[in-house]
Amino acid sequence: MKLADCHNIDDFRTLAKRRLPWPVFDYIDGAADDEITKARNTSAFDEVDLVPDVLAGVGSIDTSCTIMGRTSALPLMLSPTALQRAFHRDGERAVAQAAEKFGVWFGISSLATHSIEEIAALTGGPKLFQLYVHKDEGLNASLIQRCREAKFDALALTVDTIVSGKRERCLRSGFTTPPRFTARALWSYATRPRWTLDYVFGPKFRLPNLDRHVQEGTGKAVSIQDYFNTMLDTKMDWGTAERIRQDWGGTFALKGVMSAADARRAVEIGADAIWISNHGGRQLDGSRAPFDQLREIFDAVGGEIEIILDGGVRRGTHALKSLAGGATAASGGRLYLYALAAAGQAGVERAIGILKEEIERGMRLMGVTSVAQLTPERLRWR
Ligand code: FNR
Out of 114, 134, 279, 318, the active site residue is 279
Minimal-distance CA residue to ligand 1 atom 3:
81
Residues 6+ apart with CB under 8 A from 17: 25, 29
What does the angle CA 193 – CA 194 – CA 196 come to, to the nearest 5 degrees?
60
**Residue 265 — very low, low, confident or very high, per pLDDT cuts 50/70/90?**
very high
Report, as an integer, the average pLDDT of 364-376: 97
Q: Is residue 289 lining ligand 1, measured as CB closer than 6 Å?
A: no
Q: How far away, in angstroms, is 267 Cα from ligand 1 center?
A: 24
Task: State which ligand 1 atom lies nearest to the alpha carbon of 333.
Answer: 25
pTM score? 0.97
| Per-residue model confidence (pLDDT) at position 228 | 83
Taking residues 193-210, what's their average pLDDT?
94
For the range 362-367, what are the long-range contacts, defined as Cβ-Cβ under 8 Å and sequence gap of 24 or more?
362/50, 362/316, 362/317, 362/320, 363/58, 363/61, 363/63, 363/320, 364/58, 364/61, 365/52, 366/50, 366/52, 366/53, 366/320, 367/52, 367/53, 367/54, 367/55, 367/56, 367/58
| Nearest protein CA to atom 6 of ligand 1, as residue | 158
**DSSP at 362:** H
Task: Out of 79, 88, 258, give the residue to mutate to test ligand 1, the one with the largest number of ligand atoms within 8 Å of its CB.
Answer: 79
Ligand 1, atom nearest to 331 Cα: 29
Average pLDDT over residues 240-264: 98
CA separation for the pair 82, 67 (Å, rounded): 23
What angle, rounded to 10 degrees, do the helices at 316-324 and 334-366 form? 70
State the greatest distance between any 2 C-alpha atoms of the chain, in Å, as a whole number. Answer: 65
Active site residue 7: no
Tell me what percent of the residues of the chain surpass a pLDDT of 90.
Answer: 90
Q: Which DSSP symbol is given to 129?
A: E
Angle at which helix 290-301 crosses helix 36-43, to 10 degrees, equals 60
Pairwise CA distance, residues 332 & 310, whole Å: 6
In angstroms, what is the span from residue 276 Cα to ligand 1's centroid?
12
Yes or no: say if 197 and 98 are a contact pair by the CB < 8 Å rule: no
Q: Are 104 and 77 in contact (CB under 8 A)?
A: yes
Q: Where are the domains of the chain?
A: 3-381
- The mean-pLDDT minimum among 35-44, 173-182, 188-197, 253-262 falls in 173-182
**Mean of pLDDT values over 4-18:** 98
The answer on pLDDT for 221 being more than 70 is no
For ligand 1, atom 10: residue with the closest CA: 81
**Nearest atom within ligand 1 for CA of residue 275:** 23
Q: Is the pLDDT of residue 87 over 70?
A: yes
Banded pLDDT at 219 (limits 50, 70, 90): low
Q: How many CB atoms lie within 10 A of CB 39?
A: 14
Nearest ligand 1 atom to alpha carbon 313 = 29
Q: Is 111 in the pocket of ligand 1 (CB under 6 A)?
A: yes
Closest CA to 106 of 300, 331, 290: 331
Q: Does the ipTM exceed 0.90?
A: yes
CA-closest residue to ligand 1 atom 2: 81
Ligand 1 in contact with 31 (CB < 6 A)?
A: no
- Locate the ligand 1 atom nearest the alpha carbon of residue 160 and give its number: 6
CB 254 within 8 A of CB 275: yes
Mean pLDDT of all residues in the chain?
95
> Is the beta carbon of 113 within 6 A of some atom in ligand 1?
no
Q: How far apart are CA 40 and CA 19, in angstroms?
A: 26
| Element holding 70 (H helix, E strand) | strand 70-72
Separation CA 101–CA 98 (nearest Å): 5
Instruction: Tell me if the domain spanning 3-381 has CATH number 3.20.20.70.
Output: yes
The CB of 92 under 6 Å from ligand 1? The reply is no
Which of 219, 184, 190, 221 is closest to 205 using CA atoms?
Answer: 221
pLDDT at residue number 227: 83
The answer to whether the CB of 332 is under 6 A from ligand 1 is: yes
